[in-house]
Each structure stands twice: as C-alpha cells, then as structure tokens.
Amino acid sequence: MSTARHPMGARLAREGRLLGPASIGARLYRIAWYPGAVDAPNAAERVYGELYALANPVASFNWLDAYEGLNGGLGASEYARVERRVRLLGSAELTAWVYLYQGHPDPRNLIADGRWASTSK
C-alpha cells in the first residue's frame, strides 16, 4: 500500500512495523477504482503487497475491518478477513491476516502480474 501512496498505507506505517514486500497465492482483479484478491486454484499465481506487524492488532483491525466493509455479520460483506500463508520476499512463509474479495470478479479485469500499484497510476 505504501508503494501505491494510499492513506491507509500511511496509517499502517504509523501503527505497525513494515516487515517487507510479500505475496499470497491469489488472483488480483480491478473491482472498480479499487482491487480485490481472490483465492487462486493455481499455487503459482501471486498477489503482491506488503506485510506489517501491528503494534495493537485489535485496534488496527477495528478500523481496517470497517474500511473493508466488514459489518460483524449484519449482512453480506464485499470482503472477508481470513488467514493465509504469506511469503516474505527472500524469506520463509508465515501465516497472516488478509482481506479476500467475496464477489465474482469480471475475468476481463484480471491484473495478471498481481501488482495493484502497476495499474493504479
């Protein structure tokens, strides 16, 4: 997110520690003016971003969940926060929370290289 110069990236930088560039096994789509990652059947498909260690996960997930539209079970949400294996660049894998899109994205809007920053300029 910091490479995309997004306000939420700045907030994450204040509330956590950047562990580095990372990727998950998923596909990335342009949903509208924003991206959505979905699980991919092919483990070689990757979505790239950054991994943060949050100083206060409860507080940070409170505003992150609200930003992503998670509504505490009060109806369908566009995203779900789930645990997935994350690969840090040049490092081993670990488990982290990620937000996955719950809709059915238009296949024509696939971002084949898995990098939102390359399409959002």
CB neighbour burial string for 66-93, b if at least 16 within 10 angstroms, e if fewer:
eebebeeeeeebebeeeebebbbeeeee
DSSP 56: S
CATH number assigned to the domain comprising residue 101: 3.10.490.10
Considering the entire predicted model, what is its pTM?
Answer: 0.88
For the chain, the domain total comes to 1
In the prediction, which pLDDT does 89 show?
87
* CB 50, CB 21: distance < 8 Å: yes
In whole angstroms, give the CA distance from residue 118 to residue 121.
Answer: 7
Decide: 96 and 51 in contact? Cβ < 8 Å.
yes
Domain that holds residue 110: 2-118
Give the tens place of pLDDT for each residue, 23-55: 999 999 999 999 999 999 888 999 999 999 999
Sign of the torsion angle spanned by Cα atoms 61, 79, 35, 23: positive
pLDDT tens track for 81-115:
999 999 998 878 999 999 999 999 999 999 999 99
CA distance 28 to 45: 9
